[in-house]
Amino acid sequence: MIDLKVSAQRIALTVAVGFAAISLAATPSHAAAKIQHLVSPGGIEAWFVQDATVPLIAMEYAFGGGASQDPPGKPGVANLVGDLLDEGSGDMDSKTFHERLDRRAIELSFQANRDYFRGSLRMLKDTRDEAFDLLRASLTSPHFDSTDVERIRSQVISNLQSDTASPQALAGRKFLELAYGDHPYGRPADGSLESVPKIEIADLKAYVSHVLAKDTLKVAVVGDVDPETLGKLLDKTFGSLPAKANLTPVPDVVATKPPQRAFIPLDVPQTVVTFGGPGIGRHDPDFMAAYVVNHILGGGSLSSRLYHEVREKRGLAYSVYESLLWMEHSALFIGNTGTRADRAGETVEAINKEVRRMAEDGPTQQELDEAKSYLKGSQMLALDTSSKLAQALLQYQLDKLPIDYIEKRNAIVDAVTLDQTKAVAKRLWGQGLLTVIVGRAPQAAAQPAAATPPPTAN
């Protein structure tokens, strides 16, 4: 659990982008390991890799719903539930629960993103029974004691107050608001200074009863445990949960059509620019071509076009990236950079110019060949631990990919053609950008920062 929560937008974008990248990478030393489709005696399904190399077990799991199931007017419920599930359960108060975790070196955490309520469990082989039992207690009998709730609530509010002076947090929140408006994806996943104080214990209990159910559960396990033992542990841990979730339907949505621009004044020396637009769904026929060409434009490597134009050629920023982000009901491309306040306009223009050039001309054959080579080769470095492999196997399931995707992935990359990348580049970037700029007003950019109060969160 994260004690002092960072902003919901940093979680939503950073984690989602991070998992998106993981889900496209195959495993290194685990690549040859057999991925089993395990079904417990009680019907709990899991993707499982038995690995006795080290006496560790890593489990990742997710329930459908996430922050999109927050009740109207109360964004932040799922986030608060994630913070509180390990704050006492069954016959243990918060102190006793954490002492048991610490004494046995068990790592237990929960996190809500927009589509899923996710959890992680890591333990030594010898402590597996206690670890799974603590997880069972967290999921089935959380206390939500008023003292714990108010303590965690105060931490969340403190971070939300800090976010009002954070250009990164303000830009991320405003970007999703601009892209999705009143849709659940447009709400801040960790809530707001207005909503979090209104969340009641009854809201937390209702969320658990509606969301944590077996019919949406996906599980991935990697480690030193045999299939028969794992099946019994899964039944003991998840078997008493409700059979079916009671989820509020979330409509599909396309992000706001570019170009649009928003400015948030904030008296800080460095201006933050977040940019993006409608993306490509994970099962769109153009997805892999989009993934490859996005790597060429701004995929985070030092060879990307945006890095070359913005950082190396003009010295406008220390870093600039652009990534694809896919969700259950929508998709985005989204990028970010930070620059000196007096060079913000030049930076935005450089980004727009390079995006337009890619949309109009697409990549070169050499760029395509080099991107393919990198994306295929980097898979060998991507997942070098049991925990990372478990995260990837869970994401494959959430993305509804086949269990043998690891074996097929490089061939899919190889099949991408130059014509496909040119067509999808036009589709992605031909309309321009949604752009959010947070920093000093242009007329004040050349002046020293003044000691003025920060604005309230958007």
3-state secondary structure 117-133: EEEEEEEEHHHHHHHHH
Q: Look at residues 238, 272, 299 and tell me which one is the last residue of a structural domain.
A: 238
pLDDT, residue 411, reads 94
- Of 13 and 65, the one with more pLDDT: 65
Q: Look at residues 187, 208, 238 and tell me which one is the last residue of a structural domain.
A: 238
pLDDT, residue 443, reads 53
Mean local confidence (pLDDT), 14-42: 59
Lowest mean pLDDT among 21-30, 92-101, 380-389, 432-441: 21-30
Which candidate, 328, 309, 315, 339, places its Cα nearest to that of 438? Answer: 339
Amino acid, single-letter form, for residue 83? D
Which strands sit side by side in the sheet containing 56-64, from one edge to the other?
Answer: 36-39, 45-50, 218-223, 56-64, 116-124, 107-112
User: In this model, does residue 10 exceed pLDDT 60?
Assistant: no
pLDDT, residue 8, reads 33
Amino acid, single-letter form, for residue 355? V
378 pLDDT band, cuts 50/70/90, is confident
Domain residue limits at 139: 8-238
Taking a C-beta distance cutoff of 8 angstroms, is the pair 70, 77 a contact? yes
Which strands sit side by side in the sheet containing 260-265, from one edge to the other?
Answer: 260-265, 434-439, 270-278, 331-340, 317-326
Could you report the per-residue pLDDT of 62-90, keeping only the tens digit for each? 999 999 999 999 999 999 999 999 999 98
Which candidate, 433, 415, 429, 401, places its Cα nearest to that of 292? Answer: 415
The CA distance from 402 to 51, in Å, is 21
pLDDT, residue 1, reads 34
pLDDT, residue 283, reads 96
Could you report the per-residue pLDDT of 416-453, keeping only the tens digit for each? 999 999 999 999 999 999 999 999 986 544 444 443 33
56-64 vs 260-265, strand pairing mode: unpaired
Mean local confidence (pLDDT), 5-30: 38
Mean local confidence (pLDDT), 42-56: 96
pLDDT, residue 5, reads 31
**Is 245 part of a structural domain of the chain?**
no
Do 266 and 406 belong together in one domain? yes
In the chain, the percentage of residues whose pLDDT exceeds 70 is 88
Do 181 and 312 belong together in one domain? no
User: In this model, does residue 390 exceed pLDDT 60?
Assistant: yes
pLDDT, residue 445, reads 44
Do 324 and 411 belong together in one domain? yes
CATH number at residue 106: 3.30.830.10
Cα-only R_g, the chain = 23
pLDDT, residue 384, reads 75
In DSSP notation, 155-179 reads HHHHHHHHHTT-HHHHHHHHHHHHH
Do 23 and 141 belong together in one domain? yes
Mean local confidence (pLDDT), 90-115: 95
**DSSP β-bridge partners for residue 437:** 263, 273
Structural domain tally of the chain?
2
pLDDT, residue 441, reads 82
Mean local confidence (pLDDT), 392-415: 94
User: In this model, does residue 244 exceed pLDDT 90?
Assistant: yes
**Is 248 part of a structural domain of the chain?**
no
**Is 273 part of a structural domain of the chain?**
yes
pLDDT, residue 442, reads 67
pLDDT, residue 25, reads 40
The CA distance from 166 to 415, in Å, is 42
**Is 98 part of a structural domain of the chain?**
yes
**Is 249 part of a structural domain of the chain?**
no
- Of 14 and 215, the one with more pLDDT: 215
What's the whole-number average pLDDT of the chain? 89
Q: Which tokens in the block code for residue 126? A: 């010898």
Backbone angles phi, psi at 3, to 5 degrees: -70, -50
pLDDT, residue 20, reads 39
Do 205 and 302 belong together in one domain? no
Do 279 and 227 belong together in one domain? no
Do 339 and 278 belong together in one domain? yes
Do 175 and 295 belong together in one domain? no
Amino acid, single-letter form, for residue 179? A
Residue 216's Cβ-side half-sphere holds a number of Cα atoms within 13 Å equal to 18
45-50 vs 36-39, strand pairing mode: antiparallel
**DSSP β-bridge partners for residue 114:** none
Do 288 and 408 belong together in one domain? yes
CA 328 to each of CA 249, 307, 323, 382: distance values in angstroms, whole numbers, following the listed order: 12, 30, 17, 24
**Is 255 part of a structural domain of the chain?**
no
**Is 243 part of a structural domain of the chain?**
no
The CA distance from 373 to 176, in Å, is 33
User: In this model, does residue 312 exceed pLDDT 60?
Assistant: yes
In DSSP notation, 17-77 reads HHHHHHHT---SGGGGSPPEEEE-TTS-EEEEEE--SSSEEEEEEEEE-GGGGSPTT-TTH
**Is 115 part of a structural domain of the chain?**
yes
Do 71 and 161 belong together in one domain? yes
Do 222 and 268 belong together in one domain? no
Lowest mean pLDDT among 12-16, 209-213, 293-297: 12-16
Could you report the per-residue pLDDT of 195-235, keeping only the tens digit for each? 999 999 999 999 999 999 999 999 999 999 999 999 999 99
Could you report the per-residue pLDDT of 320-342, keeping only the tens digit for each? 999 999 999 999 999 999 999 99
Report the greatest alpha carbon distance in the chain.
69
Mean local confidence (pLDDT), 366-381: 87
The CA distance from 410 to 421, in Å, is 17
Do 211 and 357 belong together in one domain? no
Please tell me which of 20-34, 306-320, 379-393 the model is most confident about, judged by mean pLDDT. Answer: 306-320
